[in-house]
Chain A
Amino acid sequence: MPFDLTSYTIRRKILTILGAKFHVYRPDGSVAAFSKQKAFKLKEDIRLFTDETMATELLSIQARQIIDFAAAYDVVDSAEGRKLGAARRKGWSSIFRDSWEVLDEDDQPIAKLKEDSALAAFVRRMIGLIPQTFHLRGMDGKPIATLRVRFNPFVYKLDVELDPDCELDSRLVLAVGVLLAAIEGRQKS
């Protein structure tokens, strides 16, 4: 099981012109997953593989719509061939403060992801380069994970810390992290 740890780092190269590359690292620095995002794709389609050979696919994250303003992204476990759930970006609220919803396989909300505070979000939108922090909580407010962008103007790095008692599938949390790196990271780059 490649995603059984509680801590990961997602790295995205900002200066990649034709598409983007993502690496998901374990705390010991080894690669847990790799993804190469194709450029000029109308619909976002992110595939996570075990390594750079891209021989074994782990997860597939596909947008339902072309416009990603408030689009939902379905997350499928490629080995099992089953949809695990989805992540939906809340378009209007994200203008002021990035917010996402995590949905179960029947499209029912099971968790919410928000930027740490409205004030910090406002300051970030006024002055760039201030790294973001996101909190993923269950619908009952129980913490699930914290996602922190590191301060680095050249390489986008996102630390994902799952709560030890996290009841949400860690693959869904990782998928949300990759989406943040792909969508939010691209908007800020």
Chain B
Amino acid sequence: MAPTVEFHCEHCDSLCRAAKSMVGGIINCKECGQATEVPGMNDPAWRMLNMGAVIFVAGITTLIYMRAGPTPALIVGVVLFALLKLLSLAL
């Protein structure tokens, strides 16, 4: 049996199940019949982007730590992380 994911319908909040291959796609809710998104990202490009973002933040933070000390590094790290989080939500 194909692996499934569980989530709640965005319209009626009932529990829905979908094949894992449907993550990021849309299914019709069995309860209310409305189209609802299967949440999450099951995408190689997305995983690579996420990994790239983590390496980028870690690299910049380390660089600033070595040049300017822990406080500026912490501030830049937090700001960069927050910006990337906002960007990922916007996408």
Which residues of A are in contact with B by a Cβ distance under 8 Å? 42-43, 62, 64-67, 72, 74, 76, 81-83, 86, 105, 107
Query: Contact: A81 with B91, CB < 8 Å?
Result: no
| Contact residue among A42, A67, A86 (Cβ-Cβ distance under 8 Å from B25) | A86
Also in contact, A83 and B26, with CB within 8 A (given A66-B45, A76-B35):
yes
Query: Contact: B26 with A67, CB < 8 Å?
Result: no
Chain A residues near B33 (CB-CB < 8 A): 82
Q: How many residues of B contact A (CB 8 A)?
A: 19
- Give Cα distance in the complex from A83 to B32, angstroms: 12
| Contact residue among B26, B43, B49 (Cβ-Cβ distance under 8 Å from A65) | B43
Nearest neighbor of A75 in chain B, beta-carbon distance: B26
Also in contact, A81 and B43, with CB within 8 A (given A74-B25, A74-B26, A86-B25):
no
Q: Does B44 contact A (CB under 8 A)?
A: yes
- Give Cα distance in the complex from A76 to B33, angstroms: 12
Chain A residues near B23 (CB-CB < 8 A): 64
Q: Does B82 contact A (CB under 8 A)?
A: no
User: A172 to chain B: closest CB distance in Å?
Assistant: 14
Nearest neighbor of A72 in chain B, beta-carbon distance: B25
Per-residue contact bits, chain B 18-48, to A (CB 8 Å; 1 contact, 0 not): 0100111111100001110000001111100
| Most central of B22, B25, B28, B33 by chain A CB within 10 Å | B25
